[in-house]
Amino acid sequence: MKIIQIVQLTIAVLLIAAILLQNRGAGLSGIFGGSGNVYQTKRGIEKTLFIATIVLAILFFLISFASIIYKG
């Protein structure tokens, strides 16, 4: 039981960090006159971080669901 909580907390912290790293440079382009309407493909570390965020979100959901079922 306790191990599920530790894993859930670890995944939650990693998920928060991944989301914050993605949004770090998004708002600064408008301040310096950059246009935010240009579509850019994700490449390299951006793409890896995007996929890692999705995987962490799915893992967090599954661990949370398992925690609910395990208690009940």
SS3 content of the chain, % helix, strand, coil (to 5): 75, 0, 25
* pLDDT values of the chain reduced to their tens digit, one per residue, 72 residues: 688 899 999 999 999 999 999 875 555 455 555 555 566 677 888 899 999 999 999 999 999 999 999 876
Asked if the structure places residue 38 within a domain, the reply is no
Asked if the structure places residue 37 within a domain, the reply is no
Asked if the structure places residue 13 within a domain, the reply is yes
Distance CA 39, CA 14 (A): 27
Structural domain harbouring 71: 1-21+45-72
Distance CA 56, CA 38 (A): 28
Distance CA 17, CA 53 (A): 9
Number of domains in the chain: 1
Asked if the structure places residue 60 within a domain, the reply is yes
CB burial string 4-13: b at 16+ within 10 A, e below: eeeebeebee
What is the pTM (predicted TM-score) of this model?
0.72
